[in-house]
Amino acid sequence: MSSAPEIVFAGTDGGALTELAAYEAVGGLTALRRAREMTPAQIVAELEASQLRGRGGAFFPTGRKWSFLPKPEQNPRPHYLVVNADESEPGTFKDREIMLRVPFRFLEGCLVAARAIESTRVFVYIRGEYLREFEVLVSALEQLRARNLLGDVTIVLHRGAGAYICGEETALLESLEGERGQPRTKPPFPAIAGLYASPTAVNNVESITTVTPIIEMGGAEYAKLGVEDSTGTRVFSLSGNVVRPGNYELPHGYPLRDLIYEVGGGIADGRTLKAVIPGGSSTPILTASEAEKVTLDFDSLSQAGTAIGSAAVIVLDDRCCMVQLGVRVSQFYEHESCGKCTPCRVGTRWLTQILKKIEAGHGTHADLDLLLDVGDHVNGTCLCPLGDSDAIAVASYVAKFREEFLQHIEDGGCPFHGTSSLDGIVAPTDVHEAHAGGAEIHRPLEVVG
């Protein structure tokens, strides 16, 4: 295990702080008290000093995001803080653990953040499947309310209904407003016209939770953790073929190799590392040798042609068929495409179809070219990053493991012959037939009058 300081999970000692008294016993609510003596501008300044960058995946500086919101005197509409707890990027499961184990630190962060943007209205949009997490938050909120700690702030916990796209901030806002969860065009950005066309800050659970220790310790102090451009710690969701998968809070800049072999206990059963997806399914894949060299921070991963994303490290050993990986990942995006913009709606499905054809051994060299070309037409033409993610991920599998794709084509089948570790994992879109329209017959119309 790492001896790095815990920031997000500080004081938990591996457990959960779900009682307010226990949280206060480890220094909880200090940040809230301090923040209430600070002006909003001072809080934002502290955040800017911490150089905290968004933990949801886009890595946008949190303090700067808040500074984009107009002052209430510039825009009299209500200001909103919306917390994105719709965690659903494949491989990512950090926010659920944060909500389960440090719900008060998270809610305290909400109150501090609300003060920073001069808002009294907070919405937490929580993934629908996160029922336990929701209940923990409900309980924590009740405890805060019972102690009158919310001040004039209203925190609403809103459960999503099972759509990955609602993790995209504007789709989330649409969904929160009761509309179909589909992204909006930007501009206007949420800071200017977000929820109900009002100034809105949308932040990830981990970002908001980190606000609390930043106010406690001071931004400058926080910035000493981690590395340049990637300050502080990060909760990494380690999954895949490792001995000890799980969430690990580590400072940015931590070597990926060490995460896998030291923290995660290495690859199981004496197998060898084949590839790593370092930041959730949307990020380009790294080969084993690339993975050995990188550190887990923005710069190092960017230089390696990928991204830290949501810090979901998916480890793949030598049993993984890369074409199957493409099928599974692409199916996910196909299934989760909202259907609003053409390239994503059509392209993700087409990519999946081509990948399936190659996996089944019916692919040709032209299909491989087509796969990349279709991806090129998806990437960069969509309304939001969902379609791009599919195209980028799949393109990286082909770029790094082209030989394996060619093997499928030239040998007319999967070289793993049914032994791939991904074999038999059924993706949701498999249930769809090419004929999507169930019989719908209108009830006979009553002729009136």
Partner 1 sequence: MSDLVKLTIDDREVEVAKGTGLVETAAAAGIEIPVFCYEPRLGPAVGACRMCLVEVEGMPKLQAGCTLTAQDGMVVHTASTSARAAEGQKGTLEFILVNHPLDCPVCDKGGECPLQDLTFRYGPGSTRMTFPKLTFDKPIPVSPLIALDRERCILCYRCTRFSSDVAEDEQLIARNRGAYSMIATFGDEPYRAPFSGNVIELCPVGALTSTQYRFEARPWEIQDVPTVCGLCPAGCNIRATTREGLVKRVQSRNHPEVDGGWLCDKGRFTFPHLRSDDRVREPLVRGTVGLEPVSWDAALDRAEELLRGAQGKIVTALSGSETTEIAYGLGVLLRRGLGAHSAVLDESTSAALDACRAPLSTIGAAELVVVVGDDEVVDRAPIVDLWLRKARRAGAEIVTIGARGSVPAPVGGAAEALRDLAAADSELGGRLRASDRAILVWSGSGGGGGARLAEAAHALGFEGKPGCAVFHLPARANARGVAEAWAAAADADEADPEPIGLLVVSGDEAAGDPSVRALAERASTVIAITMFHSLAVGWADLVLPATASLEREGTAMNLEGRVQRLRRAVTPPVPDELAWLSKLAERFGVALSPHAAVVFEELSGRIYGGLLLEQLGEHAGLPARRPYEAPEPTPLAHSPEANVPEDHFVGTLRLLRYTPLFSGHQVERVPELQFQRPEREVALSTVDADRRGIATGDLVSLRSNGTSVELRARVDARLVEGVARLADEHAAHLHADVEVVKA
Binding site for partner 1 (CB under 8 A): 163, 180, 185, 334-343, 345-350, 353, 357, 370, 374, 376-378, 380-383, 432, 434-443, 445-449
Please report how close the Cβ of residue 179 comes to partner 1 at its closest, in angstroms: 9
Q: Choose between 94 and 127: whose C-beta lies nearer to partner 1.
A: 127
CB 377 within 8 A of CB 388: no
Question: Nearer Cβ to partner 1, position 426 or 447?
Answer: 447
CA angle 191, 194, 200 (to 5 degrees): 50
Rounded distance between C-alpha atoms, residue 79 and residue 187, angstroms: 18
Q: Which DSSP string do the residues of 315-357 spell out, in sequence order? A: EEETT--HHHHHHHHHHHHHHH--S-SHHHHHHHHHHHHHHHH
Query: To the nearest whole angstrom, how small is the minimum distance from the Cβ of residue 446 to partner 1?
Result: 7
Q: How far apart are CA 65 and CA 191, in angstroms?
A: 7
Q: Cβ closer to partner 1: 224 or 432?
A: 432
Cα(426)–Cα(36) distance, rounded to whole angstroms? 51
Closest CB to partner 1 among residues 273, 391: 391
Residue 388 CB, nearest approach to partner 1 (Å): 9
Closest CB 352 distance from partner 1, rounded Å: 10
Residue with tokens 């150089």: 51
3-state DSSP of 145-178: HHCCCCCCCEEEEEECCCCHHHHCHHHHHHHHCC
Owner of token pair 């692409």: 330
Q: Which is nearer to partner 1, 145 or 365 (CB)?
A: 365
For tokens 């779900």, name the residue.
18
Structure tokens at 330: 């692409």
Rounded CA separation 133/185 (Å): 31
Question: Could you tell me the smallest distance in angstroms from the CB atom of residue 342 to partner 1?
Answer: 5
Q: How far is the CB of 364 from partner 1 (least distance, A)?
A: 10
Write down the least CB distance from residue 182 to partner 1, Å. Answer: 9
To the nearest whole angstrom, how small is the minimum distance from the Cβ of residue 90 to partner 1?
A: 16
Q: Which is nearer to partner 1, 166 or 291 (CB)?
A: 166
- Residues found in the chain: 449
154-159 vs 286-287, strand pairing mode: unpaired
- Comparing CB distances to partner 1, the nearer of 417 and 435 is 435
Supply φ then ψ for residue 27, to 5 degrees: 95, 10
> Among residues 418 and 438, whose Cβ is nearest to partner 1?
438
The amino acid occupying position 334 is E
Complex with partner 1: residue 260 or 355, whichever CB lies closer: 355
Q: How far apart are CB 392 and partner 1 at their closest, in Å? A: 13
Closest CA to 137 of 110, 99, 105, 167: 99
